[in-house]
Structure 1
Amino acid sequence: MATFGKRVRECRDAKSLSQQELAKMMSTSYTVIGKYERDEMMPSIEVAKKLAKLMDTTVGYLLGKATDSNVLKDPIMLQRLNEINGLPDEDKHCILYTIDGLLQNARTKKAFSNK
């Protein structure tokens, strides 16, 4: 199981950032980032939120509560999904069927435009 430190390191590497670069963005020292990555120190929740935002992930992912670092973060999409989720099942089915058709159309266009 990936620890907080391993996930911080993974996200930092994915962004091609050095510990020094991340430390500067976080207004801290690279030794603190190193301690996070070695699981010698845990940040406050506010610092963890800032770290997650800079890494384009969530605190839940960093803490191991979520398995995907690329969770949906677009607030407009989240709002729409929540609205859809609150609809009766028949309406949800119709909307999802329509979305599936539009996605298939977009995939087809993309496939043919790449040739």
Structure 2
Amino acid sequence: MTLGKRIKECRLKCGYTQSQMASKLSMTEANFSSYERDKSQPPSEKLNQMSSILGVSADYLLGKTNDPRTGEKDSKKLIEMIEILSITNDMMAEFIQSRGLTPEFQKFVEQWKAHENVQEANQWNNSY
């Protein structure tokens, strides 16, 4: 299935019109329609926005996977990677956005990190 067909299929499943999607993406309806008709391809920023609005991964829209989920199944690996790399929240936000993960997932990771920091501090305090 082409990118355009996947975009259209997901849009219809979500109950959005082309006009509503165009509005959400700050573009004209004609521009959005050209994506669904495979006349043009959205830039990566718009593709990520679409995947977030439609609740699917950018990889699904691109046809790289047949699994439309947004990547939450890989949350444990991502959390481990964030912890290992000790990246900042800004870097984490950019990474999550580039992977098409939801803002809700970013909040989950931030809450998890805060929880882990509290546990680590409690363990440190208990050891002295």
TM-score, with normalisation over the residues of structure 2? 0.56
The residue aligned with 2:112 is none
1:40–1:56 distance in 2 versus 1, CA, 3 Å: same
Give the structure with the higher percent helix: 2
Query: 1:68 deviation in Å?
Result: 1.5
Bigger drift between 73-82 and 61-70 goes to: 73-82
The residue aligned with 2:5 is 6
- Asked which structure has the greater CA Rg, the reply is 1
Q: What residue ranges of structure 2 are gaps of 5+ in the alignment? A: 82-128
Would the aligned equivalents of 1:52 and 1:62 in 2 still touch at CA under 8 Å? yes
Sequence identity percentage: 27
Would the aligned equivalents of 1:26 and 1:50 in 2 still touch at CA under 8 Å? yes
- Say which SS state the counterpart of residue 12 (structure 1) adopts: helix
Query: 1:9 deviation in Å?
Result: 0.1
Runs of 4+ in 1 over 4 A off after TM superposition: 74-82
TM-score, with normalisation over the residues of structure 1? 0.62
Q: What residue ranges of structure 1 are gaps of 5+ in the alignment? A: 83-115
Would the aligned equivalents of 2:55 and 2:70 in 1 still touch at CA under 8 Å? no
The residue aligned with 1:60 is 59
1:78–1:19 distance in 2 versus 1, CA, 3 Å: farther
